[in-house]
């Protein structure tokens, strides 16, 4: 039972991390749109684009980990 509780705790932590990553992603995209509409295509704009791509990659990795941990729970039960 301890192994199941450990996996569930990791799964909950991954879900929280994913929620935070989505929130940051929304903020960064909002800033990109704001800069674009203000016609301020400068270093901050391009840095924000790169940051958005990195956050998307992080979200993808987190989703893969969530799927893996979900399969582990299914195998334990």
Residue 27 has pLDDT above 90, yes or no: yes
Say how many domains are in the chain: 1
Phi, psi of 56 (to 5 degrees): -60, -40
Q: How far apart are CA 48 and CA 55, in angstroms?
A: 10
CB 21 within 8 A of CB 62: yes
Give the residue numbers spanning the domain of 6. Answer: 2-76
Cβ-Cβ contacts under 8 Å for 33 (sequence gap 6 or more) = none
Residue 55 is predicted with a pLDDT of 98
Residue 22 is predicted with a pLDDT of 97
Taking residues 30-35, report their average pLDDT: 96
Residue 17 is predicted with a pLDDT of 97
Cβ-Cβ contacts under 8 Å for 7 (sequence gap 6 or more) = 69, 72, 73, 76
């Amino acid at each position: 039972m301890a192994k199941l509780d450990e996996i569930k705790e990791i799964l909950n932590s991954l879900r929280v991390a994913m929620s935070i990553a989505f929130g940051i992603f929304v903020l960064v995209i909002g800033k990109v749109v704001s800069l674009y509409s203000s016609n301020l295509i400068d270093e901050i704009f391009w840095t924000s684009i790169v940051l958005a791509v990195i956050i998307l990659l992080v979200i993808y990795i987190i989703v893969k980990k969530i799927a893996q941990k979900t399969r582990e729970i299914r195998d334990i039960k």
